[in-house]
């Protein structure tokens, strides 16, 4: 089914068209009409089914159809981890590009300034708040917050939140919300605890169950276990062997995309960047040049690239491991289209090993590991037994602070040992000994300067746009993709 058949607002369809999204996935086709009808929903949908857009699109539709004059939070999305909350926020940013929708994230980590920024967002209001349970509870217990305007509540990955011990937190959050609201619950599984939660917070919900899709079998998947500074050397080794066709390099942050594109162009690779800081004409120009063969390498973030439908992409490189299997499937699915073959290579740094192991478990197969190219040094160990033990320890035990409440500190929104993250953002590092024996060459065309949107959905202060300004009213550059 096409998105045009789902009764979505023109501005929502415009955003989908700009991102080259044409066909709704089964979970989107099944859930969007239910949400638009105002019904509560239980959706059993694993990652890889397009479940995030399945609630973002109708929420944007409802928020646009019924604008509010009050400066209050209107929709709350609760997710188990800070990383997932940030990913959801980025997807809201992409899909609402042509809408006057404001969003902000309430999640653990950061410093006192971030806490104060979240506090201002809660007090001054926004259309959508994406939150982790522990940090939101901390704010509700320590900040005067008016949630009387909340019309929509979404629980994403509800089973995972219950595994992490957030049942009581979710119930406590619901006690702060109006009883008259629409509640959507998304879960990969339906254990009795989820059913119990649904009975308590949902009203006569519709149920949707969607099976997961797996990657195309014609995609040759492989991975390099490496340290962060070795990644650029691996890219050089791959391209020096000759890549006959288009390449996409994915990264999870705009900063890395910009750094990597600069590093590639300095080495005379014909590369361009694609991320949400580019305005619509710039995106269209980059995509047209890429489709027509004027660009060999597209370096992109997830949010603006999931709808890319170009048949002759032969190689996908995951410069870093995607946040979840859904993103992995969408990334590598850009190759091997139209019955063609393709290759997907993932760089797995030390801090990304837990995440990559989760992807392998989801795929129900081990992705072949490649030896590092000569001259790059030793590779870190990829200990499957240790990763499996850490993965199996996550079930059923939550974190708690004083009085049994979940804490809101830096580790407060995911259990220690389940994931690892670097202490500081990684920086693109060029290997000093490489020579430029590339297949992809720079054409001499300067990259169009990316104009920063001043309506980029980051919370600063509440201001409804007027006139032809269809963007958000916020412009604090406090997060990356």
Taking the C-alpha atoms of residue 463 and residue 126, their distance in angstroms, rounded to an integer, is 9
Question: What residues does each domain of the chain span?
Answer: 3-210, 219-389
* CATH code matching the domain that covers 219-389, chosen among 3.90.400.10, 3.40.50.2300, 3.30.230.10, 3.40.50.300: 3.40.50.300
- Identify the helix (H) or strand (E) that includes residue 199: helix 192-201
- Position 354 confidence tier, pLDDT thresholds 50, 70, 90: very high
Token reading at 75: 């929709």
Burial class of residue 231, CB neighbours in 10 A (0-12, 13-18, 19+): buried
Indicate the CATH number for domain 3-210.
Answer: 3.40.50.300
152: helix, strand or coil: strand
For residue 96, give every residue at least 6 positions away whose Cβ sits within 8 Å of its Cβ, in sequence order, or none.
15, 60, 103, 457, 472
CA 298 vs CA 189, 208, 258, 317, 435: distances in Å: 36, 36, 11, 10, 21
User: What one-character DSSP code corresponds to residue 86?
Assistant: H
Of 236, 273, 279, the closest CA to residue 253 belongs to 273
Q: 34-40: long-range contacts (C-beta < 8 A, 24 or more apart)?
A: 34/206, 34/208, 35/59, 35/62, 35/182, 35/184, 36/6, 36/7, 36/61, 36/62, 38/182, 39/182, 39/204, 39/205, 39/206, 40/182, 40/183, 40/184, 40/202, 40/203, 40/204, 40/205, 40/206
Could you report the per-residue pLDDT of 35-70, keeping only the tens digit for each? 999 999 999 876 657 889 999 999 999 999 888 778
Do domains 3-210 and 219-389 share one topology? The answer is yes
What's phi and psi for 455, nearest 5 deg?
A: -125, 55
Tally the C-alpha atoms within 13 A of residue 150's C-alpha that lie toward its C-beta: 23
Taking the C-alpha atoms of residue 123 and residue 70, their distance in angstroms, rounded to an integer, is 12
CA 464 vs CA 57, 65, 67, 229, 406: distances in Å: 20, 15, 10, 44, 35
pLDDT of res. 163: 82
pLDDT of res. 309: 65
Mean pLDDT confidence for 422-440 = 44
- Position 477 confidence tier, pLDDT thresholds 50, 70, 90: very low
0.75 exceeded by the pTM?
A: no
For residue 235, give every residue at least 6 positions away whose Cβ sits within 8 Å of its Cβ, in sequence order, or none.
249, 264, 317
Given a cut of 60, is residue 456 above it in pLDDT?
A: no
Taking the C-alpha atoms of residue 286 and residue 246, their distance in angstroms, rounded to an integer, is 13
């Amino acid at each position: 089914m096409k998105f045009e058949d789902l009764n979505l607002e023109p501005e929502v369809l415009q955003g989908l068209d700009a991102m080259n999204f044409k066909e709704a996935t089964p979970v989107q086709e099944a859930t969007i009409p239910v949400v638009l009808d105002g019904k509560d929903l239980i959706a059993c949908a694993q990652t890889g089914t397009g479940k995030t857009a399945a609630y973002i699109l109708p929420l944007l539709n409802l928020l646009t159809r019924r604008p509010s004059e009050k400066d209050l939070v209107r929709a709350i999305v609760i997710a188990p981890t800070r990383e997932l909350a940030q990913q959801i926020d980025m997807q809201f940013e992409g899909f609402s590009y042509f809408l006057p929708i404001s969003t902000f994230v309430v999640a653990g980590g950061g410093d006192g300034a971030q806490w104060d920024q979240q506090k201002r967002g809660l007090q001054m209001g926004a259309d959508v708040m994406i939150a982790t349970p522990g940090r939101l509870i901390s704010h509700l217990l320590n900040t005067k917050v008016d949630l009387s305007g909340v019309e929509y509540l979404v629980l994403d990955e509800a089973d995972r939140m219950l595994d992490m011990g957030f049942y009581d937190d979710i119930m406590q959050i619901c006690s702060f919300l109006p009883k008259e609201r629409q509640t959507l619950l998304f879960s990969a599984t339906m254990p009795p605890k989820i059913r119990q939660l649904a009975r308590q917070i949902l009203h006569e919900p519709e149920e949707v169950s969607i099976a997961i899709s797996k990657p195309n079998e014609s995609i040759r998947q492989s991975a390099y276990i490496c340290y962060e500074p070795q990644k650029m050397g691996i890219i050089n080794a791959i391209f020096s062997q000759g890549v006959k066709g288009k390449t996409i390099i994915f990264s999870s942050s705009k900063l890395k995309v910009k750094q990597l594109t600069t590093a590639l162009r300095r080495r005379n690779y014909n590369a361009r960047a694609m991320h949400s800081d580019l305005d619509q004409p710039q995106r269209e120009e980059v995509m047209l040049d890429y489709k027509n063969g004027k660009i060999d390498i597209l370096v992109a973030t997830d949010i603006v690239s999931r709808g890319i439908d170009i048949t002759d992409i032969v190689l996908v490189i995951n410069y870093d491991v995607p946040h979840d299997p859904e993103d992995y499937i969408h990334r590598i699915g850009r190759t091997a289209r139209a019955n063609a073959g393709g290759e997907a290579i993932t760089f797995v740094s030390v801090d990304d090993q837990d995440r990559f192991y989760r992807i392998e478990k989801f795929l129900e197969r081990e992705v072949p590991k490649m030896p590092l190219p000569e001259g790059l040094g030793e590779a870190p160990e990829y200990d499957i037994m240790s990763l499996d033990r850490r993965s199996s320890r996550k079930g059923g035990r939550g974190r708690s602070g004083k009085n049994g409440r979940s804490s809101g500190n830096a580790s407060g929104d995911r259990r220690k040992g389940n994931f690892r993250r670097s202490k500081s953002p990684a920086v693109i590092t060029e290997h000093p000994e490489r020579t430029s024996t590339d297949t992809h060459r720079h054409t001499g065309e300067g990259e169009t300067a990316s104009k920063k949107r001043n309506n980029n959905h980051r919370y600063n202060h509440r201001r409804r746009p007027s006139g032809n300004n269809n963007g958000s009213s916020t412009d604090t550059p406090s997060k990356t993709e």
